[in-house]
Structure 1
Amino acid sequence: MKIVALVLTLCILGYANANLSAGATTSISGYYNVNKTTDANLFYWFFEAQTNPTTAPFIIWLTGGPGCSSELAIFYENGPFSLSEDMQLVNNPYSWNKVANMLYVDSPVGTGFSYVSDPNGYSTNEEEVAANLYSMLSQFMADHPQYAQLPFYVFGESYAGHYVPALSYFIYTKNQDPYSVHFNLKGLAVGNAMVYPAIQYGSMGPMAYSHGLIGPLALKETEGLVGSCVDAINSGSYNDSNTICNEIMNVIQENAGPFNPYDVRKTCPPSLPLCYNFTLVGDYLAQPSVRQQLGVPTNVNWTLCSNVVYADIINDWWNTEVAHIPILLEAGIRTLVYNGNMGWICNYLGSEAWVSQLEWSNNQQWNNAPRKIVMTGQNIGGYTQSYGGLTLMAVNNAGHMVPMDQPETSLNMVISFLNNKF
């Protein structure tokens, strides 16, 4: 089995917003045009906080891929509902919109329900992704000024480890301009995220070994490839990096068999490209009545993960936006890095490695900070290490998609982060 290099872990222009309701949840969906030249349109789905929406924090959520839809998170992770087998909405008691206003965006352009008329409108780097998202957010806040000055947080999963720091830094720099839209940016968070490939690829062998997927000889073989992988990444050659670094993954797969890279406790069914069956959400979103309510044009089809988006931005894979994080931390913008401890790709060891090496004024204090146990009821929910606004959390018994595997722990985590309680 070859692991596809696709990391999970996502205009009111001619289409009216749809006001939907799921239980006690008010939602708004639609499009904002972020590039008139290429007719690039980002799709969003907003869920108002169930409690005190005029004062609750505001979170934008971005799913990774690159090119995977944020509807994945809505229906399978932290949205207000899931789907029953007969495609009925089922209330999610651990929805994050219990405590925050949640805005899910299909980004980059072309992801999910987002679309672009001119192929030149697809994003090829993080600057373009961030600029498009900033345009969309500015228009959304202008149309809904009641949310404009709420505490603002950028969250994302997996390849959104590229998007989240890029967008957060873009907003931070725009906030310095008195003529730009100001966001009350308070924090950013990434879950099982690919943030710093040059460091994280070196963690794949030790993570596989620690879970008994490979033996010492295979581990040694992966360790022998790490130096060449790092050199290739630093050279800036995408082809060399792709060939050499992915050989680390190949060695592990050949020795470990068809394990699920998103959850090492499971086998990856050969019939499922992403190891999980997400067909239900595609069937639900294909219904004409649902599409009409969401304000989706008849000629736009939903895709779970877009190969076109992936192909256009994939040269960005080996880059990193990690340098933005120390600047944001020094400015008082808090950062949460969390990982399900059963996820192999974008794993905890890799996150711990890059976080511990961040070049900021509190690096030594953070590395010397005590590790704390986090309880979920009578069970250990995970472990945290925190200092100076930076928190690293390992979530017990969770894979790549933490809110799906441990919904209660993930909601408690968000509550703690939003309230600066770590």
Structure 2
Amino acid sequence: MAPSKTKAALYLLLSLTLVCSSLQINKTEFPKEKVTVNTEGEKWGYVTVRPDAHMFWWLYRSTNPKGSTNVPLVLWLQGGPGGSGTGFGNFQEIGPLDVEQNPRKTTWLTEVNLLFIDNPVGTGYSYVDNDKAYTTDLQQISADLLSILKIVMKVNDDMSTVPFYIFSESYGGKMTAGFSQVLYKAVQSGDIKCNFKGFAMGDSWISPVDSTYSWGPYLYVNSLIDRTQLAQLNKTANKIAELAASGKWVNATAEWSALEDEVEASTAGVNFYNIQQWGGSENSSQMTGRKSLSSYERALLRHVGVLQKDDLAALMNGPIKKKLGCIPAKVMWGAQSGMVFTKQAGDFMKPVSDIVDTLILNSSLKVVVYSGQLDLIVDNLGTEAWVYRLAIADQFSKAKKEVMELQGIPQAFVKVAKNFEYYYILAAGHMVPSDNGPAALMMLKRIVGK
């Protein structure tokens, strides 16, 4: 066997030996009445995707009466970058239990199988053995995701034939776009066995310059800034655009974080994830000395700290770590997330709208965008800016806007043009499933049900 093939085989063997599974929740950890019933089980494990790079995955089989092999599989990718899907996405958005370990009424597990991957490597329970193993761009992230998904599909072979969708949030949407392109090609070439059907990008960082340009106008029309402040925010947004146009991506990222400081100062600290709230973005244990932090360090707290607040961190590093049983003692959930965020500084402000455009035009995938009405960081204004530059823009513009109602009350609007769908979710900010769980569940059913 050639050396490269030998090395690949060794990594595959190591990955398979790191799988650890459970067919039911450990009832000594969680009282019986707080355990999701009728589940066929869970499985989780590690995959060594590269030397010194270990990624964690967690699969929940659906509680749907049809059975887990008769409903789709949804992969959830969290944002940040550095936000944990096994933690935040699972226990604060769509999983069967909340942070207090009570059943979630709007869990997606009733409709689909759920796969959470802590991505990029270093996020959540995923970890690296040295600094060189972190990813620095979308291409590396996508390659790692393909590597881990190959193993997950091998050890859960019955999941490789059910319809497969990727749902995401924030920076997770950017990663989803890049990974979807890589995965689609891998499926077409036979490199992976996966029934890939589509992907959904929620409040996603697809065109960062468009998003930052929109902050001033969005805050202004919502009475959160005056005209003088609007002019100042637009001035900084123009500077970000100039840096991006010059290819000075690290500088553009630094200026983006400075613009966030300006927004906070101008609005008395409006919450970037929901404009009807103030503050609440940081982990309280990280607040000491906040004023002495750099603008970039404060941005890290806003966008990674919010995804691993004290109560969730205590759960993940306590009962859940004990339940899983295969997390190395040296690994603290979320401990490397800050470095994950920092390592992407040169890629953070780069757009991926061209990838979305290509997949709409040249694939059979369902391509979905959804946007929370009250989100600031990726508001609807900024999202529509790049959507209306897509090749399908004219058809999308002419598409009929439908209303989605629950008990006679509008929850969302949706427009569809060929294989492209756009959901405008009402009464929700950046974290749509957390803010409006019923609407998010309705959207899921519509997307995977057709």
**Which residue identity does 1:47 align to in structure 2?**
Y
Corresponding residue of 2:433: 403
Residue among 66, 76, 83 paired with 1:61: 76
Corresponding residue of 2:63: 50
Deviations 1:329-380 (A, max 9, x none): 221211111121111111111111111211x3x3211112122222122321
Corresponding residue of 1:140: 152
In the TM superposition, what are the counterparts of 1:323-334 in structure 2 within 5 Å?
Answer: 323-330=354-361, 331-334=363-366
Corresponding residue of 1:306: 337
In the TM superposition, what are the counterparts of 1:405-420 in structure 2 within 5 Å?
Answer: 405-420=435-450
- Matches of 1:357 and 1:305 in 2, distance apart? 37
Corresponding residue of 1:92: 104
Instruction: Look up the SS of the partner of 1:399 in the other structure.
Output: coil
**Which residue identity does 2:21 align to in structure 1?**
N
Corresponding residue of 1:348: 380
- Matches of 1:49 and 1:368 in 2, distance apart? 37
Contact 2:414/2:423 (CA < 8 Å) preserved in 1? yes
1:126 correspondence with 2:138: yes
- Matches of 1:219 and 1:414 in 2, distance apart? 36
- Matches of 2:173 and 2:88 in 1, distance apart? 17
TM-score (norm 2): 0.84
Contact 1:18/1:30 (CA < 8 Å) preserved in 2? no
- Matches of 1:294 and 1:187 in 2, distance apart? 33
- Matches of 1:243 and 1:375 in 2, distance apart? 42
In the TM superposition, what are the counterparts of 1:325-404 in structure 2 within 5 Å?
Answer: 325-330=356-361, 331-358=363-390, 360=391, 362-404=392-434
Contact 1:55/1:150 (CA < 8 Å) preserved in 2? yes
**Which residue identity does 1:392 align to in structure 2?**
Y
Instruction: Look up the SS of the partner of 1:16 in the other structure.
Output: strand
Check 1:289–1:198 CA distance in 2 against 1; reply closer, same or farther (3 A cut).
closer
Aligned-CA RMSD value = 2.0
**Which residue identity does 1:103 align to in structure 2?**
L
**Which residue identity does 1:78 align to in structure 2?**
I
Instruction: Look up the SS of the partner of 1:316 in the other structure.
Output: coil
Check 1:336–1:104 CA distance in 2 against 1; reply closer, same or farther (3 A cut).
same
Deviates more, 1:166-175 or 1:268-277: 268-277
**Which residue identity does 1:298 align to in structure 2?**
A
- Matches of 1:336 and 1:74 in 2, distance apart? 21
Deviates more, 1:160-169 or 1:366-375: 366-375
Check 1:252–1:16 CA distance in 2 against 1; reply closer, same or farther (3 A cut).
closer
Check 1:27–1:188 CA distance in 2 against 1; reply closer, same or farther (3 A cut).
same
Corresponding residue of 1:7: none
Corresponding residue of 1:190: 201
- Matches of 2:229 and 2:241 in 1, distance apart? 19
**Which residue identity does 1:74 align to in structure 2?**
N
- Matches of 1:315 and 1:99 in 2, distance apart? 38
Deviations 1:250-272 (A, max 9, x none): 43322211111111111104746
Instruction: Look up the SS of the partner of 1:154 in the other structure.
Output: strand
Deviates more, 1:160-169 or 1:218-227: 218-227
Q: State the Cα distance separating 1:15 from its structure 2 match.
A: 5.4
Corresponding residue of 1:8: none
**Which residue identity does 1:332 align to in structure 2?**
S
Contact 2:375/2:428 (CA < 8 Å) preserved in 1? yes
Contact 2:209/2:241 (CA < 8 Å) preserved in 1? yes
In the TM superposition, what are the counterparts of 1:160-179 in structure 2 within 5 Å?
Answer: 160-178=172-190
Corresponding residue of 2:353: 322
Check 1:137–1:251 CA distance in 2 against 1; reply closer, same or farther (3 A cut).
same
**Which residue identity does 2:422 align to in structure 1?**
L
- Matches of 2:357 and 2:106 in 1, distance apart? 31
Residue among 224, 244, 249 paired with 1:238: 249
Deviates more, 1:75-84 or 1:295-304: 295-304
Residue among 12, 18, 34 paired with 2:22: 18
- Matches of 1:200 and 1:209 in 2, distance apart? 15
- Matches of 2:56 and 2:373 in 1, distance apart? 32
Contact 1:204/1:248 (CA < 8 Å) preserved in 2? no
- Matches of 1:72 and 1:118 in 2, distance apart? 25
**Which residue identity does 1:116 align to in structure 2?**
V
Instruction: Look up the SS of the partner of 2:23 in the other structure.
Output: strand
Q: State the Cα distance separating 1:317 from its structure 2 match.
A: 0.4
Deviations 1:13-55 (A, max 9, x none): 44533333332232211111111x22x1111111111112102
Corresponding residue of 2:240: 229
Deviates more, 1:370-379 or 1:74-83: 370-379
Deviation >6 Å, runs of 4+? none
Contact 1:195/1:321 (CA < 8 Å) preserved in 2? yes
Contact 1:20/1:28 (CA < 8 Å) preserved in 2? no
- Matches of 1:142 and 1:81 in 2, distance apart? 27
Corresponding residue of 1:5: none
Check 1:201–1:19 CA distance in 2 against 1; reply closer, same or farther (3 A cut).
same
Deviates more, 1:166-175 or 1:284-293: 284-293
Q: State the Cα distance separating 1:304 from its structure 2 match.
A: 7.3
Deviates more, 1:302-311 or 1:11-20: 11-20
Check 1:256–1:34 CA distance in 2 against 1; reply closer, same or farther (3 A cut).
same
Aligned identity (percent) is 24
Corresponding residue of 2:31: none
Corresponding residue of 2:28: none
Q: State the Cα distance separating 1:161 from its structure 2 match.
A: 2.2
Q: State the Cα distance separating 1:324 from its structure 2 match.
A: 1.5
Contact 2:18/2:45 (CA < 8 Å) preserved in 1? no
Deviations 1:49-88 (A, max 9, x none): 111210211111111111111110111111111132xxxx
Deviations 1:164-204 (A, max 9, x none): 001100011112323x1132211111111111112221111
Instruction: Look up the SS of the partner of 1:181 in the other structure.
Output: coil
Check 1:299–1:357 CA distance in 2 against 1; reply closer, same or farther (3 A cut).
same
